[in-house]
Amino acid sequence: MPDTLPDIEVFGQRRKPNGTFPQRGGGSGGGGLGDEGGEHQNEVGENDPPPDQIDPCADPETALPWNADAAGAAAVPKFLLKAAEIGFADAPNGVPTLLNREYGSFLVRGSGQSVETNQVTPGDVRDQTNPNWVSTLTIDPTGVTVANYQGDVHSHPNGNELPSQADWDGFMANNRAARESGRTGETFYMYIIAVSQNCGPPTVRVYQDGPRAANSPDPARPTEVGPEVNPDAQPVSNSLTCRLCAGFGLILLSASCASAYAAGEARHQTADTERWPYTQLVAENSLGHRLEISTEAGAFNHATATLNVDGQTWRVADSECPRFRAALDAFQALPPLKPGPALVLPGASAERPMPPYRPHGERWTIRAHLYAPDWSSMEVEMRGSQGPYAFWLTDTVAAIRACGPPAG
């Protein structure tokens, strides 16, 4: 067995702990990732000799991650500008902060090797009284297709530098959609902006996936933090505007201070498998919540719900709770599902739009019957954290809990 590992090229504007950020003209000495997120490879250390002077922007293979890192870093001031626009608790005393909610954007590939972010989407206000609070941020996909999607960037107001399992599952699902269109030779990036709990500047971490075959198994969620991205990372244009914008974001962050609150890790549990009659829909999620929606023979367009959360039970009927009734009406308006493969469905192309995306979408297991137009049915089990049905279940749980106190 050799004493030293062979050199591995790594790209981007990244560093390992106590290392230095690479500079343009400094080559591929920056920190990078392998096929599995969170792995540091052949990075420049504090006392390492300077690498060969190779301009990463001169090669398309190195220019794309360089520009992706710049887009990830540039999201910080963009998120702050959105916080300033929202105001109130997002900008106490007129100074914006990222502590009050999550923000997110998709990464969009442009001409050549350029990478930008689409519009900024704010999440829901953070519940600082709930240690198990999970954001329902749903990133707007305007302008993003499977042809130009390159990943996403979102903030963690609790300072967590690692992706949650829900983050990773959603990222894998988005990447899978792009790969199914033929982009198997590309790498996709997730940037997490970990907000400082002590009024300091945020840390931007990068995780990546690919290249790999469309039907290859997904890599496991990283358990070690990914490389840190230079907060002043610049695209190949080395735009003065971007440099000023990044500096403005750091000034705002260093000036803003709010009470720090570190939310606990959300629990992830495996749902049990069981069968049930035709009159029910049974759903269980990664937080251990169980929802049963039941009907009675002859009672058309009416249902009752039984919800179990952390040992507490809610039982509501649509005739007694307007919020649950509204949830049932929303259920009836959900779009129909079509089984894959995606590439044989009507309208499938590399230009099809990306769907809305919740980085922290709860993973649901749904057991029910699917009905064809002639009312023939099939018993199905569905799993996923994204899409209108998973979002509807999460929203319905909140609606049922708002109907009143638990029964026991």
- Residues 243-297 have pLDDT tens digits of 334 444 444 444 444 433 333 333 333 333 344 446 789 999 998 999 999 988 7
The pLDDT score that the predictor gives to residue 259 is 38
Instruction: Compare 252 and 84 and report the one with higher pLDDT.
Output: 84
Confidence of residue 321 (pLDDT cuts 50, 70, 90): very high
The pLDDT score that the predictor gives to residue 225 is 95
Rounded distance between C-alpha atoms, residue 229 and residue 42, angstroms = 16
Confidence of residue 60 (pLDDT cuts 50, 70, 90): confident
The pLDDT score that the predictor gives to residue 270 is 38
The pLDDT score that the predictor gives to residue 240 is 35
CA distance between the termini of the chain: 62
* CA distance readout (Å), 76 to 13, 81, 299, 319, 360: 16, 9, 53, 46, 19
The pLDDT score that the predictor gives to residue 17 is 74
- Once rounded to an integer, what is the mean pLDDT over residues 223-229? 95
- Once rounded to an integer, what is the mean pLDDT over residues 357-381? 91
The pLDDT score that the predictor gives to residue 378 is 86
Q: What b-and-e string marks burial along 283-304, b requiring 16 or more CB atoms within 10 Å of the CB?
A: bbbbbbbbbbbbbeeeeeeebb
Phi then psi for residue 202, to 5 deg, are -75, 165
The pLDDT score that the predictor gives to residue 11 is 57
- C-alpha atoms less than 13 angstroms from C-alpha of 28 in its C-beta half-sphere: 17
Q: Is 79 exposed, middle or buried (0-12, 13-18, 19+ CB in 10 A)?
A: buried
* Cα Rg of the chain, angstroms: 23
The pLDDT score that the predictor gives to residue 32 is 39
The pLDDT score that the predictor gives to residue 55 is 67
Question: Are 106 and 354 a contacting pair, CB within 8 Å?
Answer: yes
Would you say residue 31 has pLDDT above 90? Answer: no
Residue with tokens 């509204």: 326
Whether the link from the prior residue into 211 is cis, omega within 30° of 0, is: yes
Confidence of residue 132 (pLDDT cuts 50, 70, 90): confident
Name the amino acid, one letter, at 2: P
- Residues 379-407 have pLDDT tens digits of 899 999 999 999 999 999 999 999 999 98
Rounded distance between C-alpha atoms, residue 397 and residue 402, angstroms = 9
The neighbour count for residue 118, using CB atoms within 10 Å, is: 20
The pLDDT score that the predictor gives to residue 25 is 57
What ranges do the domains of the chain cover? 14-255, 280-401
* CA distance readout (Å), 318 to 47, 90, 324, 394, 406: 67, 36, 5, 17, 16
Would you say residue 120 has pLDDT above 70? Answer: yes
Nearest to 108 by CA among 74, 143, 132, 77: 143
Q: Work out the angle between the directed axes of helices 322-332 and 388-401 (0-180°, nearest 10).
A: 170
The per-residue pLDDT of the chain, averaged, comes to: 82
Query: Model pTM?
Result: 0.76
